[in-house]
A and B are shown apart, each in its own frame.
Chain A
Amino acid sequence: MSEIKNILLVGVGGQGVLLASELLSDAAFKSDFDVKKSEVHGMAQRGGVVSSHVRFGEKVHSPLIPQGDCDVMLAFEQAEALRWLHFMKSSGVVIVNQRVWVPPIALMKGFEYPQDPLGMVQERMQRVLKINAQQMAEDLGNPKVENTLLLGTLSTVIELPVTIWQDVIRARVPKGTDALNLRAFELGLQSVTGEK
Chain B
Amino acid sequence: MKAILSGNEAVARGCYESGLHIATAYPGTPSTEILENITQYPEIKAQWAPNEKVAFEVAMGACFEGARTLVAMKHVGLNVAADPFMSVSLIGAPGGLIVVTADDPGMHSSQNEQDNRTYAKFAGYPCFEPADSQESKDFIAEALRISIEYDVPVLYRMTTRICHSKGIVELGDRVDYPISGFQPDPKKFVVLPAHARVRRHWALERLHRLTEYAEITPLNTIETGSRPIGVITNGISYQYVCEIMPDVSILKLGVSYPLPMQKIQQFAQSVDQLFVIEELEPFIEDQILAAGIACQGKQFWPTTGEFTPDIVQIGFVKAGVLKETSAFVKPEEVIARPPIFCPGCPHRAVYVALNKLKATVSSDIGCYTLGALPPLSATDTCVEMGASIGVAVGMATARGSGKGIVATIGDSTFMHSGMTGLLNAVTQNAGITVVILDNSITAMTGGQHHPGTGKNLDGRSSKPVEFAKLCQSLGVDRIKVIDPYDLIQTQEVLKAEMETDTLSVVLTNRPCALYPPENRKKVLQVPFHVNTDVCIGCHACFRVSCPAISEADTKTKKGLTQSCIDPQLCTGCSVCAQVCPVQAIQRVNHE
Contacts and interface: CB of A to CB of B under 8 A. Distances in A.
Interface of A: 1, 12-13, 25-26, 29, 34-43, 45-49, 60-68, 79-80, 82-86, 102-108, 111-114, 117, 120
Contact of A12 (B29, B337, B539): B337
Interface centre among B244, B310, B326, B539 (most CB of A within 10 A): B310
B167 A35 contact: yes
Given A12-B337, A66-B310, A36 B328 contact: no
A42 B106 CA distance: 13
B328 A86 contact: yes
B289 interface: no
Contact of A38 (B164, B326, B334): B164
B335 A111 contact: yes
Contacts of A45: 339, 342, 514
B329 interface: yes
B160 interface: yes
B4 A49 contact: no
Contacts of A1: 246
Interface in B66-83: none
Contact of B550 (A25, A26, A107): A107
B161 interface: yes
Given A64-B308, A64-B309, A111 B336 contact: yes
A114 B334 CA distance: 7
A58 B545 CA distance: 48
B331 A42 contact: no
> Top 6 nearest A-B pairs by Cβ distance?
A42-B109, A63-B165, A38-B165, A66-B309, A61-B242, A83-B334
A42 B239 contact: no
Contacts of B549: 104, 107
Contact of A35 (B166, B242, B340, B551): B166
Interface centre among A40, A82, A106 (most CB of B within 10 A): A40
A138 to B, nearest CB: 12
B337 A47 contact: yes
Size category of the binding interface on chain B: 35 or more
A106 B375 CA distance: 12
B337 A25 contact: no
Contact of A61 (B243, B313, B332, B374): B243
B30 interface: yes
A25 to B, nearest CB: 6
14 contacts: A29-B4, A35-B4, A35-B166, A37-B166, A42-B160, A49-B336, A61-B240, A62-B240, A64-B308, A82-B332, A104-B547, A105-B335, A107-B549, A113-B335
Interface string B133-164: 00000000000000000000000000011001
Given A36-B166, A46-B342, A67 B242 contact: no
Contacts of A38: 161, 164-166
A68 B326 contact: yes
B267 interface: no
Contacts of B308: 64, 66-67
Given A29-B4, A102-B550, A40 B164 contact: yes
Contacts of A117: 334
Contacts of B190: none
A23 to B, nearest CB: 11
B4 A86 contact: no
A117 B334 CA distance: 9
B239 A107 contact: no
Contacts of B326: 68
B559 interface: no
Interface centre among B539, B547, B549 (most CB of A within 10 A): B547
Contact of B337 (A49, A61, A63, A114): A49
B336 A63 contact: no
Contact of B168 (A34, A49, A111): A34
A158 B224 CA distance: 35
Which one of B168, B332, B514 has the greatest number of beta carbons of chain A within 10 Å? B332
Interface in B340-381: 340, 342, 374-375
B174 interface: no
Contacts of A120: 332
Contacts of A61: 239-240, 242-243
A172 to B, nearest CB: 12
Contacts of A49: 336-337
A108 B243 contact: no
B336 A104 contact: no
Given A40-B161, A47-B340, A62-B239, 9 more contacts: A29-B2, A36-B167, A63-B161, A63-B165, A64-B240, A68-B326, A68-B329, A107-B549, A120-B332
Interface in B1-27: 2, 4
A113 to B, nearest CB: 5
A47 B246 contact: no
A13 B569 CA distance: 13
B467 interface: no
Contacts of B309: 62, 64-67
B165 A37 contact: yes
B551 A107 contact: yes
B189 interface: no
Given A37-B165, A102-B550, A68 B328 contact: yes
Contacts of A42: 29-30, 108-109, 160
Contacts of B108: 40, 42-43
A105 B328 contact: no
A112 B243 contact: no
A63 B239 contact: yes
B546 interface: yes
Interface string B51-73: 00000000000000000000000
B374 A108 contact: yes
Contacts of A104: 340, 545-547, 549-550
Contacts of B332: 82-83, 85-86, 120
A34 B514 CA distance: 36
